[in-house]
Amino acid sequence: MPDERMTGQRIAAAEQKLATLALAEQERDDSHFWTGEYYNEGMDGSFDKLKEECGVFGVFGHEEAAALSFYGLHALQHRGEESAGICTTVDGSDFFIHKGMGLVKEVFDNDRIASLKGSTAIGHVRYSTSGASLIANAQPLHFQFRHGHIAIATNGNIVNAEEIREELEEAGSIFQTTSDTEVLVHLIARARGIPMEDAVKPALQKVSGGYAFLIMVNDKLVVARDPHGLRPLAMGTIDGAYVFASETCAFETIGAEYLRDIEPGEMLVFDKDGGMQTDRIAPIERRAICAMEYIYFSRPDSDLDGINLHAARKRMGVQLAKESFVDADVVTGVPDSSISAAIGFAEQTGIPYELGMIKNRYTGRTFIQPSQELRERGVKMKLSAVRKVVEGKRVVMIDDSIVRGTTSLRIVKMLRDAGAKEVHVRISSPPYANPCFYGIDTPSRGDLIASSHTVEEIRRAIDADSLHFLSKDGLLSAIGRVPGEYNRGMCTGCFDNDYPTRVPADADSCGC
């Protein structure tokens, strides 16, 4: 129902804001265009999308550790495309590292891979969530100390990094990067009276946040996941060696067998004799894997805690249809991440699913940007409507989230320009109203349209004929992790402001 309290002034302000943001999007430098599998910046929404955090991949005990890491990281490219890196060691005394800005295939070639010797490797793809987009912040980070080497790759964010960093700097530490991950390295290296390997656990116990760490300390590999299990981390095996990845799709790519997910708060230590010790950083307080991994971040062919992402997204579409049926002629999903939910919506309603939008996958980093005038005349680089599918039709358009609202406005307009008679927008997640503090790059609260607008206000601002978001209860039951036990088992902080850890009280973004 329309919100009668809404004033014309507020709507006008929302529309003005959307127009300003859309202009900012057009004016952005194009140097960060993503050539990866999912979204590109701009028309199809990566400017208006939450940015994946990072991806990690590790190998212990395989002669082709670097090559396996290359292929594993390539499978995780959608989690970070700004930089890529691999660090290896033969015996814990010589470390080899290469990293660079760009995609995995741009950073590495055969010669580079061949130069990374050893049977232990950790690798990383990065989108900067904490620390600037600089080569110095590209991971793995590697440090040599009096007592040996530490190399570290992480996915996530340390919420109390600034606090710890100030303490360490006061005590004389000199930081080489602006990355939050470096605080953990200093905590490990400063431990007195114990070997560095033994200092990892107490260091992990001092940091708070959402993380998956792969840490090489001399000849040992330490694998750890935060006590809430906010960020995913899985373990597999190939040829008797262990492999680790943010997502199971990386195991499929290299032909490894999935063994299990690392438990929240679990720490595994692998030593050169092939031994694996399991330990805990902390007891599981409240399992809270990131709901957005299920909605949008992870690849549809990955499984998280045993749940396949495509299947979960399809169930979200089914649930969305149950909650917000609308009489229409065709259902379409914004490619690629919303297609599974659109199929579920179509199956539940009986309205045919059609490919109403096509994404151009060949938008590279260096294409010529259309001028403002050409833009206004409708030149579209990345997403196009299929006119024959939508013309004269009542269209249900499924998307996975609305962040600022700019992209939804432009997609609705694109469908209308292609002749759609009605455009009904259905979102397979609840309104995204609060920032994330666990490694997802979100705009500040003020730029999240759902933080200050009702659903009806958003509908009017994006010019849709109707708009519905999936309810939080519907989302949790569709994912199926903990039926009937809401807010246990899953982080939903960005929807309901209920975070599993202490977060900065006055922060309106994570500072990413």
Residues taking part in catalysis: 54
Q: At closest approach, how far in Å is the CB of 436 from ligand SF4?
A: 3
Cβ–Cβ under 8 Å, residues 402 and 463? no
Q: Which stretch binds ligand SF4 (CB under 6 A): 84-92, 110-118, 397-405, 487-495?
A: 487-495
Q: What angle do CA 39, 44, 47 make, to 5 degrees?
A: 75
C-beta of 302 vs 492, nearer to ligand SF4? 492
Q: How far apart are CA 394 and CA 226, in angstroms?
A: 46
Which member of 224, 290, 403, 450 binds ligand SF4 (CB under 6 A)? 290
Element holding 120 (H helix, E strand): strand 120-126
Q: How far apart are CA 56 and CA 410, in angstroms?
A: 34
Residue window 8-47: x/- pattern of binding to ligand SF4, with contact defined by CB under 6 A:
----------------------------------------
Residue window 351-370: x/- pattern of binding to ligand SF4, with contact defined by CB under 6 A:
--------------------
C-beta of 215 vs 436, nearer to ligand SF4? 436
Give the three-state DSSP class for 310: helix
C-beta of 356 vs 443, nearer to ligand SF4? 443
Q: At closest approach, how far in Å is the CB of 440 from ligand SF4?
A: 4
Would you state the structure tokens that stand for residue 148, as one six-digit string? 């040996």
Distance of CA 1 to the CA centre of its chain: 33
Q: Which stretch binds ligand SF4 (CB under 6 A): 139-147, 289-297, 370-378, 448-456?
A: 289-297
C-alpha distances (whole Å) from 54 to each of 130, 222, 246, 418, 471 are 11, 18, 8, 37, 28
7 by Cβ neighbours in 10 Å (0-12 / 13-18 / 19+) ranks as exposed
C-beta of 141 vs 230, nearer to ligand SF4? 230
C-beta of 315 vs 410, nearer to ligand SF4? 315
Which residues are bridge partners to 150 per DSSP? 143, 217
Interaction of residue 292 with ligand SF4, rule CB under 6 A: yes
C-beta of 67 vs 292, nearer to ligand SF4? 292
DSSP assigned state of 296: I
DSSP assigned state of 229: -
Sequence-ordered list of residues with C-beta below 8 angstroms from that of 111, at least 6 positions apart, any chain: none
Q: At closest approach, how far in Å is the CB of 249 from ligand SF4?
A: 19
Report how many residues bind ligand SF4 under the rule CB under 6 A: 12
> Residue 118: CA atoms inside 13 Å, Cβ hemisphere, count?
26
> Residue 166: CA atoms inside 13 Å, Cβ hemisphere, count?
3
Would you state the structure tokens that stand for residue 281, as one six-digit string? 């950083």
In terms of DSSP bridges, do strands 266-270 and 276-280 run parallel, antiparallel, or are they unpaired? antiparallel
Interaction of residue 493 with ligand SF4, rule CB under 6 A: yes
C-beta of 18 vs 292, nearer to ligand SF4? 292
Interaction of residue 492 with ligand SF4, rule CB under 6 A: yes
Interaction of residue 230 with ligand SF4, rule CB under 6 A: yes
C-beta of 33 vs 495, nearer to ligand SF4? 495
Interaction of residue 436 with ligand SF4, rule CB under 6 A: yes
Q: Which stretch binds ligand SF4 (CB under 6 A): 126-134, 169-177, 191-199, 288-296?
A: 288-296
Which member of 440, 449, 455, 479 binds ligand SF4 (CB under 6 A)? 440
Q: Which stretch binds ligand SF4 (CB under 6 A): 107-115, 169-177, 366-374, 490-498?
A: 490-498
Q: At closest approach, how far in Å is the CB of 230 from ligand SF4?
A: 5
Interaction of residue 494 with ligand SF4, rule CB under 6 A: yes
Interaction of residue 309 with ligand SF4, rule CB under 6 A: no
Interaction of residue 312 with ligand SF4, rule CB under 6 A: no
Tracing tokens 């009017």 back to the chain, one arrives at 460
Cβ–Cβ under 8 Å, residues 479 and 311? no
Q: At closest approach, how far in Å is the CB of 58 from ligand SF4?
A: 22
C-beta of 66 vs 475, nearer to ligand SF4? 475
Interaction of residue 491 with ligand SF4, rule CB under 6 A: yes
Interaction of residue 246 with ligand SF4, rule CB under 6 A: no
Q: Which amino acid belongs to residue 444?
A: S
Interaction of residue 212 with ligand SF4, rule CB under 6 A: no
**331: closest CA among 311, 349, 309, 310?**
349
Q: At closest approach, how far in Å is the CB of 164 from ligand SF4?
A: 20
Interaction of residue 291 with ligand SF4, rule CB under 6 A: yes
Would you state the structure tokens that stand for residue 498, as one six-digit string? 């209920």
Tracing tokens 């600089």 back to the chain, one arrives at 134
Q: What are the phi and psi torsion angles at 510 (to 5°)? A: -85, 5
Q: At closest approach, how far in Å is the CB of 501 from ligand SF4?
A: 10
Which member of 438, 441, 443, 455 binds ligand SF4 (CB under 6 A)? 438
Locate all alpha helices (DSSP H) within 350-471, ordered by sequence: 372-376, 387-390, 406-417, 449-452, 455-462
Q: Calculate Rg over the CA atoms of the chain.
A: 23
Cβ–Cβ under 8 Å, residues 509 and 442? yes
Cβ–Cβ under 8 Å, residues 206 and 194? no
Interface residues toward ligand SF4, by CB under 6 A: 210, 230, 290-292, 436, 438, 440, 491-494
